[in-house]
Amino acid sequence: MKGRMTRREAIKTMATAALGGAAALSLKGSEPNAQPQPARKPNIIFILADDLGYGDVGCYGQEVIETPRVDQMAAEGMRFTDCYAGSTVCAPSRCCLMTGRDTGHALVRGNARIPLRPEHVTVAELLKDAGYATGIVGKWGLGEPDTTGIPNGQGFDYWFGYLNQGRAHNYYPDYLWLNEEKVYLEGNADGKKEQYSHDLFTEHGLNFIREHRDEPFFLYMAYTLPHANNELGRETGDGMEVPDYGAYAARDWPSPQKGHAAMITRLDRDTGRILDLLKELGIDGDTIVFFTSDNGPHKEGGADPAFFNSWGPLRGYKRDLYEGGIRVPMIVRWPGKIAAGTESDVPWAFWDFPPTACELAGAECSDGIEGLSMAPALFGQEPPEREFMYWEFQQREFKQAVRIGDMKAVRVGLTRTTEVYDLAEDIGETRDLAADRPELVKRAEDIFDNWRVDSEEFPVKDPGLG
């Protein structure tokens, strides 16, 4: 831990230099005796899409679905090519994002309703302790009503949305949560479909920004687009529930594909509304905005990731630990601080967000967080070195993955064979190099067997694991 603190201090020095006015002191007025005043801490907005694939937006290669505002955000900020979700499904990915731990150590490792406990420190708590107003809008997935895991018990001052991922499938719910109270949606009563949850989320998010424009705030916009309504999909074959198909209504496509495209364009539109409001309020230059997805593209509700090439050049999709299941878009924008139109191939993952946010906010980071601050990477500098990044997931069968530099190892199922890929040369993971790289297989299997800790909530079902 002593080495970690030294490294963190070095990161802070680099980030402060790059931030310019964000963490430095500025002079108020022009009087010769004016006292230095601390500059405003940056607002932090984290926009999280749900099941949006690496190739689902234009700046990552999408050629059919229209995403002009996200593409503009990339042109005005930094596009990361090698960013990873916390997991390959929503609840564990969000747990990694909030608590700064990978799925070998996180409490939540699958889509079970396991609430966070009081001892789990979230990024919202850390930022709140640093003077931030904290809000979350959208899907939580880390605690049911009357448990220790609800957002208001985990550092968020304001909360509006779905508590669990199952109810979040329905885009026309009969109620949503506002803090610890149910808000019934009259427009959706008696089978009506008048109040689309995504649209409500956007309005609540915009209002949160307006209300906290004069103080530093952290807003976590956990959108549910373009996730499927799984139950509706099983009933009708089309679970891509959206008010209208918009620009895609006349396309000669299956209905689920029209809905999928319309969902993404709607998400893009409302990302633009958030950016526009920041400019309107005059806080654009005071606000750093992250845009990403909680895992790879889905194949649910009639959606087909092959139709739009939603995985881009990657292999696999949601529930895989190949790149298509866990590598996600990541765009970070901060006008005047992050150079416009830049690109970075620095690998990082969701568990790196809490220390990154703390670095940017000048907040103390919890010792229980194992992620590393990526703040230097935002400003074109080298982030701290890491040995590897690890994932595990066990729906259907236990699987593990580790990235070591540009090399990736995957172990799937009861056969316990380890595959090895060179991502620098083979981003699609098409050529297994395990036979040629026995030393890397050994290194990966050592990590697979020894890095993780056992979980009572998610016991390993693979009897072959030692």
- Annotate 68-127 with DSSP letters as a single string: HHHHHHHHTSEEEEEEE-SSSSHHHHHHHHHH---TTT-S--SSS-----TT---HHHHH
- Whether 105 is covered by a domain: the verdict is yes
Q: What is the pLDDT of residues 6-19, one digit of tens each?
A: 333 433 333 344 34
The number of distinct structural domains making up the chain is 2
- Residue 202's domain spans which residues? 43-378
Q: Check whether 1 has a pLDDT greater than 70.
A: no
pLDDT in tens, 158-208: 999 999 999 999 999 999 999 999 999 999 999 999 999 999 999 999 999
Query: How is residue 206 written in tokens?
Result: 């915009």
Place of tokens 């907005």: 45
Chain mean position to CA 445: 28
**Sequence-distant (≥ 6) Cβ neighbours of residue 118 within 8 angstroms:** 148, 153
Pair 222, 331 in one domain: yes
DSSP 243: S
Question: In this structure, are 60 and 124 located in the same domain?
Answer: yes
CATH of the domain at 402: 3.30.1120.10
The pLDDT confidence band at residue 463, using thresholds 50, 70 and 90, is: low
* Per-residue pLDDT, 461: 77
Cα-Cα-Cα-Cα dihedral of 241, 244, 250, 255, to 10°?
10
Is residue 20 over pLDDT 70? no
Quick check: 38 pLDDT over 60? no
> Is position 258 within any domain?
yes
**Residue 114 or 416, more confident:** 114
Q: Give the pLDDT score at 395.
A: 82
Question: Mean pLDDT over residues 411-436, rounded?
Answer: 93
Global pTM? 0.92
Residue 18: predicted pLDDT: 37
Same domain, 110 and 138: yes
Q: Is residue 18 part of a domain?
A: no
Query: Phi and psi of 331, rounded to 5°?
Result: -120, 135
Residues 294 and 251 in one domain: yes
